[in-house]
Structure formats: C-alpha cells, structure tokens
Structure 1
C-alpha cells in the first residue's frame, strides 16, 4: 500500500495580491529516509512553506496548486556525527540508483542502520516538481535488491499511481502494476519491467529501454539534482571553465567582489611540455575539434584543495595550452601572478562553489537555471560573513516565479539567523544517547518569536543537536 501524500502534513502560506502566470519548474518538495546510516526512524526534510510570514517574498509558487509555496533554501545544523552528512548521502544514493545501473553483480548504494539488527529494507521517499507535474518516488531497497518501488503523479486533492513494483522472493519475477492510460505502449512497458533486474530501479531501467513517459521524472535526478560534497571541487570548476561560456569572467568578478584578494583570473600560455604524461590525455587532445576545450586538473599534494589547472584548446590544428592563474595587486599597485595552489583553502573552496553560483545566477535569457543544489558543509573553510553573503545573494534572486533551491548542512551557528532564514528553513540533526539520529525542524517549536536569539536557545540545548562533550582536562 502506498503511504499518504506528504502534502497533508503542513498548512500553507496565503500569498495575497500576487498575480502570475503558471511557470514550469523543478524543485524538491519533500524527502524522507529511514533505516539509513544513523537514522533508524524516518528523517523528513519538508520544503513546503508553513504559515511563517517572515521572508515570505522569497517563496516560490507551486504551479497549478492553490496557495502552495515552496522554500528556496533549507539549512541543517548539528554537531559532528549528528546525521547531517547522512542526509546528504541518502539523497546521493537515491540519485545514483535513479540514474545508474549497478551492473549484473553490482550492489546498490544502500547503507542500513547498523547499531542493531534492522529488519526490512532502507526506505527513500521523495516528492518533487518537474515541469508542471508533481511526482512522488517511493523506494524500499537493500544493497542487493529493490523490494518495492512506486511512482505517483500527485494532484492537489488526489494522486495517480503510474507504476507499482513489488519483489516477492518466493515468487519471482517482481510483480508490476501500471497505469495504462499514462503509458502509450503497454506491451513495451511490460517488456521493460520483465527485463529489469532485482538490483535496478525500474525508473532507471525503463529510461534505458526508451520508456519515454518517465523521462521527465528521470531527468529530475539526472539533470536537476546537484550534490556538492566536502571533497575536492577542482573538477567542477574545471568542467565549468572548459564548457560554460562566460564562467571565467563570472569567476573573476566574484573572487574580486568577495574580498579574496584576487583582482582577476587569467589564462597564461605555457608549453605543451607542461601537460602531464598520460595516454588518455593524448587521446582526448587528438580528438579535439576547433572550439572544444580539455581541462586538466593537477593535484599537487594530498588533501582537498591543492590543485592547479590547465586548459587545452585546438588552434590551427595544434594544441594551445594555458595555465589558469590568479592576479593579486601589491601595495605599490603592481600585479603579481599566483598559482591556484598558492591560494588559501577558503579561497579554493569558494572556487569550487563558483560553478553552482554561476548556475544559480541570472542567465543571458534573463532566467536562472532550474537546479536543486545540495551542499554538504557549505561553510567549510569559509568565514561566516562570506557564507552569509553567498546565501543572501542567492535569496535576493528568489521569488514567486523562481524555480531554484539551495540546501546545505553547516556547523556555523551564526547562520541560525532569522534575518537571513525563515524558521521553517532551519533543521537540526541530533544524535541521542541510543546512537539514533533525528531531524527536527525549528518550525515545530512553539513560541519562537521573530526576535528570538535562536543561537542562544540552541546552545542552551532547547533544540538538541549540540555535542555532548566530556569533562575538559585540567591544566596543571
């Protein structure tokens, strides 16, 4: 049996005197996971606006629904090992299952709760907007098989089950039920179902077998949901530098504006001998066409950020190699060139976030990209004021017709600021004495005024999620 829609949980904001056309979009509305890593019971991240009136103008209207609004951002606070990254990894695992085949003998990226023998599979439940349609994907899976899967088309007062799949080990193959009014070629869909292995989501397998009716839902995972972890982001910067027109100009302006000490970025010509020796790189360069770019990232030392970057283009049939460098201005006004590896860890972390900021900024056609970015430890290596500026710069571009989101985990308590975020955009992950994590929304707490010092309440333990540290050592 399918669970009741997550839309029944929350009351919604009434937004008076706003007129708009129906705008297609792509947003995350709700995500829940259980029996996953440190979460024994369900952790629910709800992105639907509550009756909170603060910062109301940043909410996005859910197209086709009356008085339903979506939050543009959500922050998850908590101590170390509280369960923040576990939520990030849960979304990452579901995205992987929805977009990639594990292979005949492969395992699914399912990491069950391990502090006791947990019966049953891990459960993923996600509701999202794609175009003008609201979908709900529900999955129960172990690391070797999908036990249950369903996809619903959610309407304002009802829902339609597009397909439902249940695995019964005693009576293989899996049992499927389809909405034949949704699928044009029922025989082809049934063939795709019979061809889907136990360790593969039908959503992913069906797309590989050209079931085009599921493309909109599948593409939300493949093209819209972007996850940025705490590791090196050099490759994301390199990809943007090599493939996105205008990115390097944008990066130069942002690095200068955000007080990194960098005046601008430059691409300095260097010899072909500067390229690392690699057969794969030689093949990639040999296959280049005019106008294409190969980006080469060189990790100079172990760690997250110590890298340099080379750009290779084809010019008159020959490789043109350029090294990306930063320019700083000295006290006497003279310019000095720095390698990327000479920049601070905070600056290099910021550079790793610039592709995301570029995507979220207004594009040439006047609209920002429809993306859902989920960032683990947004504040990593960065000053509070810089992190606040990135969030506020994003939020001032959000409104009733915007279709973009920035979700993040953080250790920075100064970001728990009601001048920056709404209370229903704040969540706390906490781990109990039994080792189980919980996710609690601050909107659940009654009596929190707009002028309340949330940081003090958090540190006093009202919301949980603070480290339970042992007694400090004594200085002799």
Structure 2
C-alpha cells in the first residue's frame, strides 16, 4: 500500500514534489474511499488520487517519475559498467543537469512503514536509504552515500535489525546499480517484500489504455474472469453482450503488467470478438471494428480486475482518454468500493474530467493539481491547500481558476 511519493529534479519538476495518499481527518466517505493504515500516526490511507492540470503542466511527468523509479529498482542491475542511464533532470537551468535527482516512496507492508529512496545522476547512484518504522522511531536498515574524497567508494551503515550477507551485497553493488536490487538478486529475504512493491504490485500505464489487448485476452481465458470482463463491458452500455476469441496471426504486445511496457512481436493472437444482439440475432465484430473507447475499456479491463483481485497499485496517465465520463466514474467507483476492492488496491491517475469533482465521487484529499510557473517549473499541490468548504462547488471553483492548475488562454493570431 503506497503512502507517499517524492521526486525532485526530474523533467519539469525542479523542486521537490510530494504526492501523499494519507487520508485527512475528514470523515466524509471514510468507509468507502479510505481504509485503515494500521499505523499510529497515519490512521487511514486513500484508495485513489486524481491529478488535474493544464496540458504540459507536469501531470505526465509525475507518472514518468513513478515509472523511472520502478525501472531503476527492477532493472538497475542490467545497466552495463560506466553506462549512462536515461535520466532526464530539469533542463531549464544548466546547473541542474549535473545535480542528483531524488526519488522516494513510502509503503505500508504487513503493518510496517517502509521509507525507501535514492539520489542519482546519469552516471552513478549518489545515495540510497531504507528506513523501517516498527514504532515511532525509524530503524535505518541501510544507508549508502558516495564518498567524494574516496572516488568510486561508498560509505555504508546498517541497522542491527537488517540481516544477511551485507558485505557480499555491498561489494557486488556497482555505482550504476541500486543496493536494493543487488541484495534481492542475491537472496535478501528481508528486502524482497519491498522489491515486490515495485516489481509485482505496481502497474504503470503512461499512455492511458494504449497498451494492446493481449493481457486482457489472456486474463479472460478463465471463465470467471471472462464473466467479469463482459459485465464491465455490458455495464458501460457499449452494446456488447458477449466476448469470444479467434486465433489469428498478428503482432503481439507482450505486456509487463508491473511496468506497463510492452514489446511487439509476430505471434498467433487470441483476437477479441464482441457480440452485439439486435432483434434476437447475434452479430460478431472484431475489436478493430469497435470504437476507440470500447477498445481502451477492454484493454484496461484485464489489468483493472487483476489489480483489484490482488490488492495492487494502478497508475494511469489520462484515464479519461477516449472514455465517457461515466465510464471513468465507474472505474473509480470500483476502487472506492470495499465490495469490489476488498484487498486495498489503489488507483492514481491524471485526468481532465472535471465531472469527478462533484457528487461525492472524490474526497477533497483525493484531488491534486499540477501547474507550471513563469520559470517553466512544475509544482504539485493538493486541493486541501485552499481549505475548501464541505459542499463547495469544486468543478466551478477549478474551472474558475480558484485552485490553479488550468491553462491561461491567450489570443490566436489570424
């Protein structure tokens, strides 16, 4: 369960940005939109968070920051010695190009708070740390810092609570790689639950539903799962009454559900066929014959149900891409409903769908904004910074510019 995410000096975010899923003391929709955290200082955690903002304000860069951190944790050991990574620091100030970029994520795992982060440049990891909270005082399980005076050397500190072959892992960790990645690859059982938060429990879709149908097609091979997918398609009023599959040669999107990335290769595909009932007659349509919204909904259906069933984290850029506002609301409701979300799955998404701001679809602490200033620096801030009243017309306030996060429109030359 994600509690907080921090990033600094990444793409358009020059200064530190913090996205928190810790619920405020507000009791509104508490039983549906939040769940118990099991911590003394953080009582409840949000099931979902929505990020609003103008085009090019930084919404997508927050998603990319999650994706980069996930990729570093899961694949940093694949970076070759002295190979530069593809990190993109803030580019509007030349001096920030060589400054380190910070990533930090805080999770609740089995009732304990794990605060893990690192700083890095394109050429090396500068620092890395893991704090584990059993009680109020943290245990610094490990800390790693680049020593400028001793080139290519790092200073490590460890807690007595952190067990295993620490020196072996330390010696195997190159400057381009993370200690967490190396230790887990070399069988650290204590760090495995944290690593799995990135490798198995976090699904990131940086391009909305443009992920191909392959995962949903595989997911729906199980009859129970097929029934779930059909129920969502039917509830969305697509006119679809059944889903079947036809074997055909084509190009396969090999989706990694943890990262949201896909490779394309030639393969025999299970191509979805959608049944439409008209005057008692069933007509079959290929997925390519359906609307863009229907295709995206099917593509997202498998991952959404898989994430809800397993209590994972879904991060989607532009969830409302080609989807009707009522469909976006339906997906959000699935995460904000203890019946459909019994295991604590979470949803973070960017959107322009202002209809979600009204009608108790979101709590006030679930709403965030991004905005760029005159120096082209993106800022992330919560609606709560504006102390909105209960029952305040949030859609009207947002479109009226009260909270920021909207484009300042000028005139267009003729």
TM-score, with structure 2 as normaliser: 0.89
Mark the CA change 1:398 to 1:425 in structure 2 (over 3 Å): closer, same or farther.
Answer: farther
Match status 1:387 vs 2:387:
no
Find the aligned partners of 2:177 and 2:217 in 1 and give their Cα distance. 32
Find the aligned partners of 2:226 and 2:339 in 1 and give their Cα distance. 24
Match status 1:104 vs 2:80:
yes
Mark the CA change 1:239 to 1:266 in structure 2 (over 3 Å): closer, same or farther.
Answer: closer
The higher radius of gyration belongs to: 1
Query: 1:253·1:264 contact (CA, 8 Å) conserved in 2?
Result: no
Partner of 2:141: 162
Partner of 2:156: 176
In the TM superposition, residue 335 of structure 1 has moved relative to its aligned partner by 1.0
Match status 1:462 vs 2:402:
yes
2:383 to 429, 435, 442: 442
1:376 to 282, 294, 317: 317
- Cα RMSD between the aligned structures? 2.4
In the TM superposition, residue 97 of structure 1 has moved relative to its aligned partner by 0.7
Partner of 1:32: 6
Query: 1:255·1:262 contact (CA, 8 Å) conserved in 2?
Result: yes
2:17 to 43, 63, 84: 43
SS of the equivalent of 1:167 reads strand
SS of the equivalent of 1:326 reads strand
In the TM superposition, residue 75 of structure 1 has moved relative to its aligned partner by 0.3
Mark the CA change 1:257 to 1:67 in structure 2 (over 3 Å): closer, same or farther.
Answer: same
Mark the CA change 1:109 to 1:63 in structure 2 (over 3 Å): closer, same or farther.
Answer: farther
Report the count of equivalent residues.
Answer: 396
1:150 to 121, 126, 129: 129
Query: 1:60·1:398 contact (CA, 8 Å) conserved in 2?
Result: no
Find the aligned partners of 2:56 and 2:214 in 1 and give their Cα distance. 27
* 1:232-271 matches, cutoff 5 A: 232-241=211-220, 246-268=224-246
Deviations 1:324-382 (A, max 9, x none): 3111122x221111111111000111112102331244xxxxxx322011111110101
* 1:285-364 matches, cutoff 5 A: 296=252, 323-330=271-278, 332-361=279-308
Deviations 1:170-208 (A, max 9, x none): 41321111113321x3xx211111111111111011111
Match status 1:79 vs 2:79:
no
Higher strand share: 2
Find the aligned partners of 1:42 and 1:338 in 2 and give their Cα distance. 49
Once structures 1 and 2 are overlaid, which stretch shifts more, 99-108 or 27-36? 99-108
Find the aligned partners of 1:360 and 1:126 in 2 and give their Cα distance. 19
Q: Which runs of 5+ in 2 are unaligned?
A: 255-263
Find the aligned partners of 1:50 and 1:64 in 2 and give their Cα distance. 14
Q: Which runs of 5+ in 1 are unaligned?
A: 1-26, 279-295, 299-306, 313-321, 362-367
Partner of 1:140: 119
TM-score, with structure 1 as normaliser: 0.78
Runs of 4+, deviation exceeding 6 Å:
309-312, 398-401
